[in-house]
Structure 1
Amino acid sequence: MSQRSDLNTPEKNLQNCPPNYTSNYQQAYADDEIDLRELWHAVWSRKWGIALITVVVMIAALVYALNAKNYYRAQVVLAPVQSEGKSAGLAAQFGGLASLAGINLGGGGASDTGTAIAILQSRKFGERFIQENNLKPYLFSKSWDADKKVWIEQSPGVMASIKALIMPASTGGQGGYQREPLAPGEPSLWDAYKEFSKMLTVSTAKDSGFVTVSVEFTDPVLAAQWATQMVQDINQLMKTQSLAEAQRSNAYLEQQLKKTSLAEVRQSIYQMMEANIKTMMLANTSDDVVFKTIDPAVVPEEKSKPKRSLIMAVAMVLGLMLGVFWALIRNAMASSKKESE
């Protein structure tokens, strides 16, 4: 078996081949090898071209970095307001009856926090915040004439004109929905929300549960003001909803109290009404209904972007890579031309 396997080895088979086949095989194998010295020679011989490409890329990056606006990030660190154990106990005992009455008795901290975060990131809340604080002139400063207090009407582009001819905008819709009335040159609320959503970040720490609301804008004072105002608005909104739900719940429970004479049911209703009264009392005496501010927003002094040093470093690496790639392509083209001749 060993002698037969020795006869079938590639070396034995190669020795038994004709001489021309062996030389052609060795030549093809040699052609497939990468000569690092040749590559280094190709790169080094074109070092000035590589340097020129790198400098051009770095100059373009420098122009971009110098013309880019500075952005500042203001953030507020919040702690969720936890519900007390008594409310959780009531939910465990009377959860079915409470849900029938539309009452939220238990676990308020986690569920209310999740609801508040979802509202903060929702389009409805963002559009209302933009309208109430008149943010459009700040979000579209290039289209706003601050002296005349009017929008600058710009001529539509070619693609916009073609789109308007093919798909004309409707002024009304079914079910009472109407398009937003806009002044000439005024951006829509849809576009304003898209710009505002790029500035807003809401994150939750997995270990501590703290919520961070960040606003990034070119004006550091406005960024701090908007971050603070958003926290106040979400607390006020949740406070209003909590009061309305507690009042509706008590109204329903008072009606059910008149209809029943069972002592156990009446006792349960009284306890849920007590929980609602406590909710209304806490909502009326405190502004921090869902979030309590741990670290308020301050006017940032350091910009968050652009990171000009990082831009220049990336531009230098990118320029070198493009230069080396150009040198290798030139070398390959010269080699193929030489072989063809």
Structure 2
Amino acid sequence: MIIGATLMSGILAAGISLMMPNIYRAEILIAPASDADSGKSAASSALSQFGGLASLAGISIGNSSSVEENLAVLNSRTFLWKFIQDNELMPILYVDEWDSVRKGWKNTNSREQPSLWDAFRLLTKDGVLGVDRGKKDDLITVSVEWGNPEVASKLANTLIVQLNEYLRQRAVQSSQRNLQYLNEALGKTQVQEVRQSLFELISKEQKKAMLASADGEFAFKVLDASSTPDQKVKPKRALIVLLASLLGCFIAVLLAVISDGVRSVNRKACEPYG
């Protein structure tokens, strides 16, 4: 019984594992873009001279957003929805439910068709998109796991390019709002010292906007772009078969011990009656 259960468990696990699709992981190595490389630190340093006035105006003149904030944007619903729509990823993410001939979903019921919410959960909660930040350095590994290795690699590379563009545009829009406010404030004051400070703030804010507009790798620079993976990461079929065989063996041994114990009790109970 024990040998049979072990063999059957291993064979069953092997059959199931062979039915599971191969999953490939594409990785891209990035690092936070250095302020010194882009010249943003110089502008921020100059702007800090007018911190009091800027804070009264509600204008942020510090350094660019923190790495944690930028990584949070990577996993945010707003960015990922835009990423999915811009790259038309719904038919790719749900290829089994997409009719490529008819260019529509196989299920005509709109309530049962995949939504952007489903795609967002697939990327962030089902292990498709991963972010691993090194503990001893600023290096960050962004990974995409998918059944098609070429698609996984393309998604990983495109993700970082569009994240930089998204953050860059947001920084430019912030500078434009600041400039609008500063120009309005300039037209309302006649105090020479305040006007001079506003002129300086406007000049520096314009430089920030120009730097952001010209900076392709605005938030993260790519150290090692993703290439098409040549080996799967899942499923680990040998491990699945081994664990299933061990589990089957353990259950069979447990049942054998229980069965032997029951027979022993029954024999002892029948002894007084010969």
Distance, in Å, in 1 between the alignment partners of 2:189 and 2:223 is 47
Distance, in Å, in 2 between the alignment partners of 1:252 and 1:144 is 48
Aligned length, in residue pairs: 264
Q: Deviations over 1:33-78 (max 9, x none)?
A: xxxxxxxxxxxxxxxx111111111111101111110111111111
| Residues 140-219 of structure 1 aligned to structure 2 (within 5 Å) | 140-153=94-107, 183=110, 186-197=113-124, 198=126, 199-219=128-148
TM-score normalised by length of structure 1? 0.71
Partner of 2:68: 114
Distance, in Å, in 2 between the alignment partners of 1:87 and 1:330 is 80
Is the CA contact 1:144–1:152 (under 8 Å) kept in the aligned structure 2? yes
Say yes or no: does 1:330 pair with 2:259: yes
Is the CA contact 2:47–2:201 (under 8 Å) kept in the aligned structure 1? no
Distance, in Å, in 2 between the alignment partners of 1:294 and 1:195 is 27
Residues 275, 324 of structure 1: alpha-carbon distance in 2 compared, 3 angstrom cutoff? farther
Gaps of 5+ in 2: none
Query: In the alignment, which of 89, 97, 108 is matched to residue 45 of structure 2?
Result: 89
1:107 alignment partner, SS class:
coil
Equivalent AA in structure 2 for residue 151 of structure 1: W
Is the CA contact 2:43–2:207 (under 8 Å) kept in the aligned structure 1? no
Measured after TM superposition, the shift of residue 296 of structure 1 is 0.7
Partner of 2:199: 270
Partner of 1:303: 232
Q: Deviations over 1:265-294 (max 9, x none)?
A: 344333322321221221222211111111
Equivalent AA in structure 2 for residue 97 of structure 1: L
Structure with the greater alpha carbon radius of gyration: 1
User: Per chain length, whose mean CA-contact separation is higher, i.e. which structure has more relative contact order (CA < 8 Å, sep 6+)?
Assistant: 2
Calculate percent identity across the aligned residue pairs.
35
Is the CA contact 1:87–1:106 (under 8 Å) kept in the aligned structure 2? no
Partner of 1:135: 89
Aligned Cα RMSD in Å?
2.2
Distance, in Å, in 1 between the alignment partners of 2:234 and 2:55 is 48
Query: In the alignment, which of 211, 222, 225 is matched to residue 151 of structure 2?
Result: 222
Residues 204, 263 of structure 1: alpha-carbon distance in 2 compared, 3 angstrom cutoff? farther
Distance, in Å, in 2 between the alignment partners of 1:228 and 1:339 is 72
Equivalent AA in structure 1 for residue 113 of structure 2: E
Query: In the alignment, which of 68, 74, 82 is matched to residue 26 of structure 2?
Result: 74
Measured after TM superposition, the shift of residue 142 of structure 1 is 2.1
Is the CA contact 1:72–1:218 (under 8 Å) kept in the aligned structure 2? yes
Gaps of 5+ in 1: 1-48, 155-181
